[in-house]
């Protein structure tokens, strides 16, 4: 499979990988680069390394936007030899360091029904945990370019990390923003997600380009529209829980379609039940 990066802003490139429609972002500075996410397998990551080298000869550091396999299972291929820093939120770093077998098991189980070949590759992929844990925020110097790494709060996962390059006005959102399908709620915090997305939007400039976790590059109006839908969903979850309504009934009236919304409603009900003690 031949894949390549497309420049979307000054020395900011996006590769849209066809398997699972995942986006990888490359920021290039003077003598250095930053690679945001590393795809799923050794084979995919090897293709990705070739695509990076077609853009720049510079050494790179890596950022993982979260712990899901399609964003970090390529770490060992892209960051172990030669070794380079791998940045992630502290929750992501802890999961990949302390629970690699469980992360692999979940990835295999998720892909097995529809992608058995990929599932088999995931089951044997050796993971490389991030080496630099980010608590709330940190700023990197990427060859003279200031790049912000920011944890906006719980949303798609407990450990989401976004990347903002202010000189290019590009925001890499990971799976906090999805373009080619509904948000994935399986490990989400749907009651917190609107606030996380509001924080993400607040980082942005007047004409920010947003790179979603999947699908086409979007603008800030798309992110605001998704924030409005997530806010509506959170409100329906809270009202439904307070009224004792079944999750399926709430999901039927929610944004994103009943199948995705049902996962979100159940996750939200669990959050509310835990908070109630």
Q: What is the pLDDT of residue 160?
A: 98
> Where in the sequence is the domain holding 156, given as residue range(s)?
6-219
H helix intervals, the chain? 42-53, 69-72, 75-79, 90-98, 100-111, 116-123, 193-202, 220-243, 247-252, 258-276
Residue 232 counted as domain residue: no
Residue 110 counted as domain residue: yes
Q: What is the pLDDT of residue 1?
A: 66
Residue 276 counted as domain residue: no
**In this structure, are residues 223 and 209 in contact, taking their beta carbons and an 8 Å threshold?**
no
Strand order in the sheet with 162-165: 137-142, 145-150, 162-165, 170-174, 209-212, 218-219
Residue 27 counted as domain residue: yes
Residue 255 counted as domain residue: no
Count of structural domains within the chain:
1
pLDDT digits 0-9 by tens, 86-128? 999 999 999 999 999 999 999 999 999 999 999 999 999 999 9
pTM: 0.97
Task: Read off the tokens for 49.
Answer: 């390394």
CA angle 48/49/53 to nearest 5° reads 115
Residue 213 counted as domain residue: yes
Q: What is the pLDDT of residue 277?
A: 83
Residue 149 counted as domain residue: yes
Question: Alpha-carbon distance 144 to 148, whole Å?
Answer: 13
What is the CATH classification number for the domain harbouring 141? 3.60.15.10
Mean pLDDT of the chain: 97
Task: Read off the tokens for 246.
Answer: 């079944």
Point out the residues of the chain with pLDDT beneath 70: 1
The helix (H) or strand (E) run that includes residue 253 is: none
Question: Alpha-carbon distance 45 to 108, whole Å?
Answer: 18
Q: What is the pLDDT of residue 37?
A: 98
The contacts of residue 67 (CB under 8 Å, 6+ apart) are: 88, 91, 92, 95, 96, 103, 157, 159
């Amino acid at each position: 499979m031949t894949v390549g990066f497309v420049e979307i802003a000054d020395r900011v490139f996006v590769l849209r990988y066809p398997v699972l429609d995942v986006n990888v972002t490359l920021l290039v500075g003077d003598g250095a680069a930053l690679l945001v996410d590393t795809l799923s397998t050794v084979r995919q990551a090897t293709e990705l390394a070739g695509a990076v080298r077609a853009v720049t000869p510079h050494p790179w550091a890596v950022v993982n936007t979260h712990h899901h396999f399609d964003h970090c299972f390529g770490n060992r291929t892209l960051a172990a030899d030669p070794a380079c820093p791998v940045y992630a939120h502290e929750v992501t770093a802890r999961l990949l360091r302390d629970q690699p077998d469980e992360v692999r098991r979940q990835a295999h189980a998720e892909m097995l029904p529809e992608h058995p070949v990929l599932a088999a590759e995931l089951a044997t992929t050796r993971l490389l945990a991030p080496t630099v844990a980010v608590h709330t925020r940190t700023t990197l110097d990427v060859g003279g370019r200031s790049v912000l790494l920011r944890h906006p709060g719980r949303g798609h996962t407990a450990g989401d990390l976004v990347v903002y390059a202010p000189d290019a006005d590009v925001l890499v959102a990971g799976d906090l923003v999805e373009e080619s399908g509904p948000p994935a709620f399986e490990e989400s915090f749907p009651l917190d997600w609107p606030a996380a997305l509001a924080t993400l939007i607040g980082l942005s400039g007047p004409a920010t380009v947003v790179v979603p976790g999947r699908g086409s590059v979007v603008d800030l109006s798309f992110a605001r529209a998704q924030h409005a839908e997530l806010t509506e969903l959170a409100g329906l979850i809270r009202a439904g829980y307070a009224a004792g309504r079944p999750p399926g009934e709430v999901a039927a009236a929610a944004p994103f379609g009943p199948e995705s919304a049902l996962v979100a409603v159940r996750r939200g009900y669990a959050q509310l039940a835990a908070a109630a003690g």
